[in-house]
Every structure is written in C-alpha cells, then in structure tokens.
Structure 1
Amino acid sequence: MTGVATRVLGKNHHVPAERRYRLIDGCCEPHAQLDGEYPSLDEAIAEAIDWVLASTGGDATSWIGVEVCTINGDWRTCRLPMPLLCDLQAGSTS
C-alpha cells in the first residue's frame, strides 16, 4: 500500500495528494493519546501497537481503529476499532 493518491483537477491533469492517517479509539473518536497524523497505514498501526505494549502490557481490550483523510479534508474510517493484539494464552490448550 502506498501513501500517495492521485487527485484529478481537470481533464488529463493529475496532482499527487499524500494520504494522511490518524488513530481512533473504541468510540470512533480521535485517539486521545495517539493524536498525530501518519503518512501510511502501516506507520499508524505500528505506533498503536507500540503504545499498547508500552502502556498496557498488551491488554487485548485496547480498541484502536484508523481513519484516512479524504481529498476534501473529511476523515473516513478505513479500519474499525478492534483489539490490535491477540492474547496468545487464550488459544493455548496446555
């Protein structure tokens, strides 16, 4: 996935527009602690995972989603809030 989209200004005129991403909480509001903008979906998710591991020790109840900024400046959800990490112990049968 690239961080660049193409915006059409008129017939045969294309201007590259960079995509911006932001993290949202479980209520689909901008995340209070992770309130920056990211140039790629991968960077946004990586930042969220690092934050979850550092602040909660990997608590699977930390729901985080991602929004992308549209060409007209609106934010659209591209990943609904959900736990970023799975509990590896929960699936253990030992």
Structure 2
Amino acid sequence: MTKADLVEKVYLKTGFSKKESSDIVEMVFDLMKNTLEKGEKIKLAGFGNFVVKQKATRRGRNPQTGEEIEISSRNILTFKPSQVLKAAINEQD
C-alpha cells in the first residue's frame, strides 16, 4: 500500500475531497515524523509501538577488502506490533 492508496481510502471512507484527504494523511505522517525526531515513543492502541533506539558504535568488517572499520553510532526506528495486530495477521479462516 502506498501513500496514494491511503489517501484514496480516506477519501472513500470519509467523503472529504481528495485534497482534504491528502492533507489529513500528510498531517498524520508529519506528526508521527516530528514526534519520532524528538525521540518520543508513538503508541497506537490495537496497532503497535514505534520507538527510536540508539545503536552504539561498533566494529565491523568491509566484506570486499576484509578491512576492519568502525561503524558509527546512530538512531534506529523499531516497530513492535500489538497482540491485537499479531492476532489479526495470524488469524486463520
């Protein structure tokens, strides 16, 4: 599913114009992005949690040359689905 698909679904379900639907989807993504940039957690009940975690500096190896390199620390985004989402995905008919 793409952002355009999401806009289309919002448009069909809400009756808003496509422009308004696009603005709503963009606003939600901007709010999520800004929250995560601040290092805050996003908890969506029945869906899951988005968390920014810090990965420490570590040693690595260049696979082409075998040379040891240092991989710098960085932030990573993790998602942990809720039990409700896991159950819905794994539900068998």
TM-score using structure 2 length: 0.27
TM-score using structure 1 length: 0.27
Q: Which has the higher strand share?
A: 1
Could you say which structure has the larger radius of gyration?
2
